[in-house]
Structure 1
Amino acid sequence: MNDETSPAYHAGMRALQDRFDTRRLADRLDEKLARQVFSDEDRAFIESRPLFFLSTADADGQPDCSYKGGAPGFVRVTGDGELAFPHYDGNGMFRSLGNLLVNPAVALLFIDFERPNRLRVNGRASIADDDPLRASFVGAQLIVRVRAERIFPNCPRYIHRMTTVEPSPYVPRAGTTPPVPKWKRFDEFADVLARDDPARRDR
């Protein structure tokens, strides 16, 4: 893995590694830490997270990054190298999932802010509304599955330690109906809400 490029590093990364003399360290980190199969520790960490960050790009490579939140367990490791998560009602733009329809490359970042730790997952995503997992997620509109190509932990030293005050009341839960987001009550959006949006009935 000392070539100019490698499966882990492209020419731009190599140029900066060489400038700062970190190529050897980068190669060793990839050799020792990167994997394509989730460990038991990976599974436990991912499934304990109430949030993650999702990075996608469109067909031209224009990037987008989103925060995804839910109850712990809303992301599931479904196989040795696969995870899945639900898509809940959002702002209707479908920026992340729309990107995945034209470019399945995806990156996920899982962070524990209370006990600083983080894990990256890069892979290829697919979307389905008839996925059998959908029935097991309250409020799910679609299911996203990610086939992992690189799983690797990151140094947590710059993570600011934070404490969760309370979970979001908007996260779908069995036996409850999430409140309507305040912004969907604004008059400027009233005439363009989706036909089945609860905000229509709540006005």
Structure 2
Amino acid sequence: MSFYDEHHRALQDHFDSRALADTLQAITVQPELDTDTAEFLASREFFFLTTVRSDGFPTVSHKGGPLGFVKVLDPTTVAFPSYDGNGMFLSMGNIAATAKVGLLFIDFETPHRVRLHGEATVSADDELLGEFPGAELIVRVA
């Protein structure tokens, strides 16, 4: 799968930014999490989670927890707990329906950001659940 589709390319060509887009992709898009990225994720107390309903309608949510609540399980998999905030389960229901997710981690004191995109699973009986008192579900993203 290409990072850019024909719609991205059409706009890049219209605004003469294809070369810039290709350069940015080459230096920022990585297939695996390296040690620095894993340490950055562990240093965050929150991130923003995007999910998509089965009809394609998107939503974005704030997900938070103590330092280290996002676990890097291996170079291509992260996991995090879900705590019921309002009983709506919008994000968790969307993950169950489509598995498509985006995670955005930001350090607001520096210009550092990390975006993760992937497919997720949600489980009420994941072995990691015991590590997060009060959590109801575990989400794994690959």
Same fold (TM over 0.5): yes
Q: Name the aligned partner's letter for residue 92 of structure 1.
A: G
Secondary structure of the corresponding residue to residue 101 of structure 1: helix
How far residue 26 of structure 1 moved from its aligned partner, in angstroms, is: 1.0
Q: Which residue among 72, 82, 95 is the counterpart of 2:67?
A: 72
Q: Give the residue type in structure 1 aligned to 2:13.
A: D
Considering fraction of residues, name the structure with more strand: 2
State the SS of the aligned residue for 1:71.
coil
The equivalent residue for 2:122 is 127
Deviation, 1:11, is: 1.5
Q: 2:30 aligns with which of 35, 41, 45?
A: 35
Indicate whether 1:105 and 2:100 are aligned. Answer: yes
Higher relative contact order, structure no. (Cα contacts within 8 Å, ≥ 6 residues apart): 2
Structure 2, unaligned runs of 5 or more: none
Q: Any runs of at least 4 consecutive aligned residues in structure 1 with deviations exceeding 3 A, and if so which?
A: none
Separation in 1 of the partners of 2:57 and 2:84? 24
TM-score, length basis structure 2: 0.96
CA deviation string 1:15-73 (max 9, x = no partner) = 11111111111112212321121000100000100010000111111000001111111
Identity of aligned residues (%): 48
Separation in 2, partners of 1:144, 1:31 = 29
* Aligned length in residues: 142
The structure with the largest alpha-carbon Rg is: 1
Q: Distance in 1 between matches of 2:84 and 2:116?
A: 24
Task: Using the TM superposition, give the Cα deviation of residue 10 of structure 1 relative to its aligned residue in structure 2, in angstroms.
Answer: 1.2
Q: Distance in 1 between matches of 2:138 and 2:92?
A: 10
Deviation at 1:142, TM superposition (A): 0.5
Alignment-mate amino acid for residue 121 of structure 1? L
